[in-house]
């Protein structure tokens, strides 16, 4: 299965729109990681402790996942980038869904946005066309 479309990216058609969605998901993960670490971490943990380090680690995972998707987008011909992106996104999606269901965060706006971004990134990395083709 592929999200590939018959119109070329230069026509401003569906492929271009899909690539924009893919990029928005990747940059969205990086942005959420920044908000998580630079806004939410100081609010949740005013004192340095072990919990703060775990919290920041979760934000770093969002940065790394976003960066992995950006690498995949820049290197569409690389099977390694694609497979690493699929693995990264799939495991992150499983984690955020499990954590969201366990804590109830999945029903809050920030939880829904995170699950949505990771789902989009996962779909593009898994079904976005083979190396060198598709979005």
Q: What is the sign of the dihedral through the CA atoms of 90, 92, 93 and 97? A: positive
pLDDT band at 1 (very low <50, low <70, confident <90, very high): very low
Its pTM stands at 0.83
Q: How far apart are CA 69 and CA 121, in angstroms?
A: 7
Are the C-beta atoms of residues 56 and 39 closer than 8 Å to each other? no
Given a contact cutoff of 8 angstroms between Cβ atoms, the answer to whether 58 and 41 are in contact is no
Asked whether the beta carbons of 31 and 41 are under 8 A apart, the reply is no
Task: Name residues whose C-beta falls within 8 Å of residue 8's C-beta, 6 or more positions apart in sequence.
Answer: 15
Residue percentage of the chain with pLDDT more than 70: 86
pLDDT digits (tens, 9 = 90+) for 76-111: 999 999 999 999 999 999 999 999 999 999 999 999
Instruction: Report how far residue 129's alpha carbon sits from residue 107's, in angstroms, rounded to the nearest whole number.
Output: 32
Alpha-carbon gap, residue 86 to 82, rounded angstroms: 6
Answer yes or no: is pLDDT of 6 > 80: no
* Contact of 59 with 67, CB cutoff 8 Å: no
- pLDDT, average across residues 5-10: 44
pLDDT of residue 14: 85
Q: Rounded distance, CA 115 to CA 43, Å? A: 22
């Amino acid at each position: 299965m592929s999200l590939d479309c018959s119109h070329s990216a230069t026509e401003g058609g569906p492929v271009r729109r899909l690539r924009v969605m893919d990029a928005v998901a990747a940059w969205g993960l990086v942005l959420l990681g920044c908000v998580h670490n630079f806004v939410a971490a100081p609010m949740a943990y005013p004192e340095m402790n072990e919990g703060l380090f775990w919290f920041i680690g979760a934000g770093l995972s969002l940065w790394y996942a976003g960066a992995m998707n950006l690498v995949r987008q820049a290197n569409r011909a690389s099977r390694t980038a694609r497979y690493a992106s699929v693995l990264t996104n799939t495991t992150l999606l499983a984690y955020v869904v499990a954590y969201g269901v366990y804590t109830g965060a999945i029903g809050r706006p920030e939880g829904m946005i995170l699950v949505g971004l990771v789902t989009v990134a996962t779909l593009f990395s898994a079904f976005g066309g083979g190396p060198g083709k598709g979005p």
